[in-house]
Amino acid sequence: MNLGVTIYSSVTESEESGVRVSRQVFGAVATLVVVVGALVMMEGATASAGLRRTSYTAGAPGAGDAYFPYAGNGGYDVQHYDLDLTYTPPAPDPAPIVGQLSGVATIDLVATQDLNSFNLDLRGMDVQAVKVDGQRVREATPPAPGELPAGPGYWQVQDDDARVWELTIQPRPKLKQGQTARVVVTYGGETVRPEDIEGALYGWVTTRDGAMVVGEPEGSMTWYPVSDHQTDKATYSFEITVPEGKVAVANGLPAGDPVTENGWTTWFWDAPDAQASYLTTASVGDYDLRFSETAGGLPIVDAVDDALTPANAATTEASLALQADMIAFIEGAFVPYPFNSYGSIVDDDTVGYALETQTRPVYSRVAREGTVVHELAHQWFGNAVSPGLWRDIWLNEGWATYVEWLWSEATGGATAQENFDAVMEIPADDEFWALTISDPGPFGLFLGGIYDRGAATLHALRGEVGDEAFYAAAREWLVRFDDSTGTTDDFQAVYEEISGQDLGAFFDVWVRTPTKPTSW
């Protein structure tokens, strides 16, 4: 697929000063040193003390996901994001729906290669200051392709047409492989209503009363500098300052009571479980906050917009009241709930879909029972274990839909078999079947086939290996890839291992072929 993206330069700088120093040291045996130096160059490794040739290169501008080539970055691994945000929502109608965000992101990372420079993803925000380990890095002019600025500097590329949004930081001293660094980025700008590649609202979606923040697949870069790919999970903490009266709700649990001063309230949240960037939220609105807990002692924090219609509010209350039972149900079928807390944010907005943001899904206008169990199921399937690449999205949506089927059956609704039969009634020539769900393309992530064929695949797999192996393998998948990511191939391998069956033909027919399965 041609995404119309021009790959811009990935600059490599060879650091040869080590070799030069060695030549001076060895003086008279310069010839020998040149020979050894050449050998070291060929091997690209350490020869002996004092003769180390180091090669510092630019960290890759993407994580290697073909659907979103510039999402995520290479060369480092983020451990923690501390996001200190100040947000002013739009003025009342008829003012435009534009907010003001300013932030200080403190990012703790570990270099995974010798880094001359590295990138963060940041879209639509201006960087005002960068520090690396306390050293100020100044703004530089973006270099021409293939060119290499010599000294320290940072610069931004903001190419909306090519969907390339990159902040490059070239620190001095350079970062050595294995070295930890604290990167502090001060930034800000106007917030709008950003769109994903298909035109769906996502990211920091400005609302009249605040913001509904839903980042799948690579929308978190609209509100903080981030390595925006699930292969680099990290923990998070938040300090969100909003006009007094507004409520800011992020992932995890409150870290202290809100503090109000001079008409502004600061909300503190802490999310200590490894989290993919697309699952970060910091939604702001006129929420009613409620704290409760499950019978097992898991804290539940719900935030419900006070402007829902009476009918939507009633539906929402009834659904949210079921969350504790739903958690117990999923724990009984699979493994214990993977995070420190749960709860829902229900916003009065037109985003039009819900997102399983970690520990705290966000719903648009109403939280229906089926959607609530769906977003809850994602906490295991999608959040604790995330898709290795975006092509693996069916593992998220197929499972979340299948758990909806299981819940329906357990609560007296349609059985999983009935839901499966309904999918199989879709005629073979329907477009629904023309999707290779293990590789749907960046415009196919949320097509019906990802959800319903994905769920049907799991139901058929259950029939293929039997109930015992089906649930045992699901548990193994959740344990083995916890806090990490897994691919379709990984998933097939776990099912083959646990069932002892060769499932190659099964997975080919169900997920790798764009036609309706008839035999498997």
Q: Where do contacts with ligand TRP occur on this chain (CB under 6 A)?
A: 200, 216, 353-356, 374-375, 397, 446
CB of 356 to ligand TRP, least distance (A): 5
Report the amino acid identity of residue 383.
N
Cα angle 75, 82, 84 (rounded to 5 degrees) comes to 130
Least separation in angstroms between CB 361 and ligand TRP: 8
Quick one: which of 164, 400, 465, 494 contacts Zn ion (CB under 5 A)? 400
Shortest spacing between CB 294 and ligand TRP, in angstroms? 22
Which distant-in-sequence residues (6+ apart) come within 8 Å of 447 by Cβ? Answer: 435, 440
Interaction pattern, residues 359-378, with Zn ion; x per rule: CB under 5 A: --------------------
Comparing C-alpha atoms, which of 124, 125, 97 is closest to residue 350? 97
Rank residues 355 and 395 by Cβ distance to ligand TRP and give the closer one: 355
Candidates 415, 394, 384; CA nearest to 507 is 394
The residues with which 60 forms a beta bridge, in sequence order, are: none
Number of Cα atoms under 13 Å in the Cβ half of residue 1: 12
The reply on whether position 458 binds Zn ion by CB under 5 A is no
Task: Choose between 353 and 520: whose C-beta lies nearer to ligand TRP.
Answer: 353
Cα(370)–Cα(400) distance, rounded to whole angstroms? 10
| Cross-strand partners of 304 | 288, 346
Q: Which does 353 bind (CB under 5 to 8 A by kind): Zn ion, ligand TRP, none?
A: ligand TRP
Cβ 350 to ligand TRP shortest distance, Å: 13
446 binds, among ligand TRP, Zn ion, none (CB under 5 to 8 A by kind): ligand TRP
Q: Which of 301, 279, 299 is nearest to 346 (CA)?
A: 301
User: Which range, of 67-75, 259-267, 391-399, 407-415, touches Zn ion by CB under 5 A?
Assistant: 391-399
Joined tokens for residue 279: 């699952």
Determine the 3-state secondary structure of 506 from DSSP. helix
Nearest-angstrom CA–CA distance, 12 and 148: 8
Q: Pick from Zn ion, ligand TRP, none: which does 462 bind, CB < 5 to 8 A by kind?
A: none
The minimum distance between CB 407 and ligand TRP, in angstroms, equals: 15
Which residue, 383 or 438, has its beta carbon nearer to ligand TRP? 383
Q: Taking CB within 5 to 8 Å according to partner kind, which of Zn ion, ligand TRP, none is near residue 205?
A: none
User: Closest approach of Cβ 202 to ligand TRP, in Å?
Assistant: 6
User: What CA–CA distance (Å, rounded) separates 58 from 489?
Assistant: 30
Residue 17 neighbours by CB distance under 10 Å:
10
Cβ at position 320, least distance to ligand TRP in Å: 16
Binding site residues, Zn ion, CB under 5 A:
397, 400
